[in-house]
RNA sequence: GGAGGGGUGCCCGAGUGGUCGAAGGGGGCGGCCUUGAAAGCCGCUGAGGGUCUAGUGCCCUCCGGGGGUUCGAAUCCCUCCCCCUCCGCCA
């Protein structure tokens, strides 16, 4: 969330920056409530002060063995007045908190102005798109023909937007996960963690999924627990309500987790194939850094994610999201889009964001600056490194051959028992 | 699921109704000592909020969360959450 004091002191700036995102936010209402809140705080605190002094006096009288009945009745009245004011204040504060949680982060000044994804700007291209002497096919056709996807049985055991990976498909998914984890831990200095895939409500609020985006989440019945939509949630919340020493920064984490998304409102989008599933695997990079260099850290985070695609030989482009397409909690986001020749389009495969102190303030993640000064909020960043299912999709489409087989990228072969080509799976059923 | 014990500051830990925001230790910061460091010694060191004359100011809140009793709660009561031990169940 935003800093209430900053909003109060720079309302025009905040208004203007929120306007860049488009949409309506309850800023004016918040400012009004904040004024009321501060007035109530003063009244309450004055009363408390009075009561405190009077109570102390009673203690003094009692010690001297004097009569205190007159004083106690007076203070009791004071207490009752205080109680009703406190209740009022509590309600106002709850409302302020609610409004604050519904206001998104302010876009960074380097984020291009724009209304929606059409205004995102391509900032980089890498790799040559493969040329084929046949018409390249989409991954769902390749995968089903190879027998590595089974959508029919997935629909039977669960429902739509699920898939069963079989044989070399399952192995390829597993190889990708391990390959990515190895790259980020060994070459990029990330610490590997394997967090819970289920988190509580406080964690979801900490990273910004709740309270606003409840409909995107799977919730466990009779529990205040949710399936994670991304490892960003458990990993960022690792340090919720902590104060870490400055010398511990920056903290780099990498985590493999499955991700669960209700995909409410995406009916009819990407219904074919494995691009948009209710459950998918992802390797996620998360950074906790000091505010001074978070934008440099965003650039290196992006490069760390890009390197996965480079090593796999998959062509891609990087776009910077415009203000209108920016996620709720993010101040700046780069998307990496991999080339999918079977669909003749680029598909998002990673999203790398700097949240500045927006999540840190929600989740109360701070660091103590060297020299023992007051704690400050860290900056948090995260990025997919990468979405595993979509990487598998890109491999099928970019490495497909005329005969329907798929070449395994060289870096993955050690992870697949030396397998060089994926051929039709020979299963009796 | 049953029985018991516990949650206090950056960390550990004392504190069972009244100057208790809280002993002590660790850590951190500063100083002395030292060629330098370690050790030793001395001092400082919680967080959040409100306010103005903006000060090394004044005030309020915070001892797991919420509620209650009381003139007054870290301390008493209720409730919820979490952790530990034993038993049961279990991959």
A148 near A389, Cβ under 8 Å? Answer: no
pLDDT at A60 over 90: no
Q: What is the mean pLDDT of residues A50-68?
A: 82
In whole angstroms, give the CA distance from residue A289 to residue A338: 28
Distance of C1' in B25 from CA in A422, Å: 64
Q: What is the crossing angle of helices A294-312 and A168-182, to 10°?
A: 140
A241 is catalytic: no
In whole angstroms, give the CA distance from residue A263 to residue A278: 7
Output A222 or A341, whichever has higher pLDDT: A341
Q: Would you state the pLDDT for residue A422? A: 98
Query: Per-residue pLDDT tens for A164-190?
Result: 999 999 999 999 999 999 999 999 999
- Protein-covered nucleotides of chain B (CB closer than 7 Å) are 10, 18, 27-30, 45, 47-51, 59-61, 67, 70-72
A208 near A328, Cβ under 8 Å? Answer: yes
Query: Per-residue pLDDT tens for A18-47?
Result: 999 998 999 999 999 999 999 999 999 999
Q: Would you state the pLDDT for residue A67? A: 76
Distance of C1' in B67 from CA in A84, Å: 15
A81 is catalytic: no
Q: Would you state the pLDDT for residue A65? A: 74
Out of A93, A246, A348, A423, the active site residue is A348
Distance of C1' in B34 from CA in A371, Å: 24
A348 is catalytic: yes
Work out whether the CA dihedral A55, A61, A63, A67 comes out positive or negative: negative
pLDDT at A413 over 90: yes
pLDDT at A371 over 80: no
Query: Per-residue pLDDT tens for A196-217?
Result: 999 988 899 989 998 888 899 9
Q: Would you state the pLDDT for residue A269? A: 83
Q: What is the mean pLDDT of residues A376-391?
A: 95
In whole angstroms, give the CA distance from residue A407 to residue A429: 24
Query: Per-residue pLDDT tens for A280-297?
Result: 999 999 999 999 999 999
In whole angstroms, give the CA distance from residue A96 to residue A255: 35
Out of A294, A329, A351, A384, the active site residue is A351
Phi/psi for A227 (5° steps) reads: -75, 140
Distance of C1' in B42 from CA in A374, Å: 24
pLDDT at A66 over 80: no
pLDDT at A80 over 90: no
A45 is catalytic: no
Phi/psi for A320 (5° steps) reads: -100, 130
Strands (E), A196-344: 198-200, 225-227, 242-245, 251-260, 279-289, 316-320, 332-340
Out of A37, A161, A261, A362, the active site residue is A261
In whole angstroms, give the CA distance from residue A390 to residue A352: 16
Q: Would you state the pLDDT for residue A320? A: 98
Q: Would you state the pLDDT for residue A327? A: 95
Query: Per-residue pLDDT tens for A223-238?
Result: 888 999 999 999 999 9
Distance of C1' in B50 from CA in A41, Å: 7
pLDDT at A373 over 90: no
Q: Is A258 helix (H, G, I), strand (E, B) or coil?
A: strand
For A198, A371, A396, A424, the CA distances from A173, given in Å and listed in that order, are 22, 47, 12, 16
Please tell me the pTM assigned to this model.
Answer: 0.93
Q: Would you state the pLDDT for residue A426? A: 87
A166 is catalytic: no
Residues by CB within 7 A of strand B: list them.
A 4-5, 38, 41-42, 44-46, 48-49, 51-52, 54-56, 58-59, 62, 72, 75-76, 79, 90, 243, 366, 368, 370-372, 374-375
Phi/psi for A53 (5° steps) reads: -60, -45
Retrieve residue A115's tokens. 């209304």
A412 near A312, Cβ under 8 Å? Answer: yes
């Amino acid at each position: 969330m935003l800093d209430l004091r900053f909003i109060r002191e720079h309302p025009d700036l905040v208004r203007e920056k929120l306007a860049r995102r488009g949409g309506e936010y309850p800023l004016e209402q918040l400012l009004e409530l904040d004024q009321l809140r501060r007035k109530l705080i003063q009244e309450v605190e004055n009363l408390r002060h009075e009561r405190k002094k009077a109570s102390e006096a009673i203690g003094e009288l009692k010690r001297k063995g004097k009569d205190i009945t007159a004083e106690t009745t007076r203070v009791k009245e004071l207490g009752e007045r205080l109680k009703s004011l406190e209740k009022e204040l509590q309600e106002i504060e709850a409302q302020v908190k609610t409004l604050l949680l519904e206001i998104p982060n302010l876009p960074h000044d380097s984020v291009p102005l724009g209304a929606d994804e059409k205004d995102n700007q391509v900032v980089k291209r890498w790799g040559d798109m493969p040329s084929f002497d046949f018409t390249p096919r989409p991954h769902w056709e390749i995968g089903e023909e190879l027998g590595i996807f089974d959508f029919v049985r997935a629909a039977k055991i669960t429902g739509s937007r699920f898939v069963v990976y079989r044989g070399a498909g399952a192995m390829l998914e597993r190889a990708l996960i391990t390959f990515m984890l190895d790259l980020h831990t060994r070459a990029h200095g990330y610490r590997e963690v394997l967090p819970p895939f289920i988190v509580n409500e406080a964690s979801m609020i900490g990273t910004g999924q709740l309270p606003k985006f409840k409909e995107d989440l799977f919730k466990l019945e009779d529990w205040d627990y949710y399936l994670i939509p991304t490892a960003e949630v458990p990993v960022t919340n690792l340090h919720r309500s902590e104060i870490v020493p400055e010398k511990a920064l920056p903290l780099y984490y990498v985590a493999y987790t499955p991700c669960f998304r209700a995909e409410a409102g995406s009916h009819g989008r990407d219904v074919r194939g494995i691009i948009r599933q209710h459950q998918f695997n992802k390797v996620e990079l998360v950074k906790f850094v000091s505010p001074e260099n978070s934008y440099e850290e965003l650039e290196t985070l992006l490069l760390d994610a890009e390197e996965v695609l480079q090593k796999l030989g998959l062509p891609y482009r990087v776009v910077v999201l415009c203000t209108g397409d920016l996620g709720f909690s993010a101040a700046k986001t780069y998307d990496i889009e991999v080339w999918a020749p079977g669909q003749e389009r680029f598909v998002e495969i990673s999203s790398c964001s700097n949240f500045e102190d927006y999540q840190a303030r929600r989740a109360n993640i701070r660091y103590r600056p060297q020299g023992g000064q007051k704690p400050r909020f860290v900056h948090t960043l995260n990025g997919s490194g990468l979405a595993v299912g979509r990487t598998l999709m890109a491999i099928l489409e970019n490495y497909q051959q005329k005969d329907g087989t798929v070449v395994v990228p060289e870096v993955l072969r050690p992870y697949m028992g030396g397998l060089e080509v994926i051929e039709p799976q020979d299963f009796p059923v």
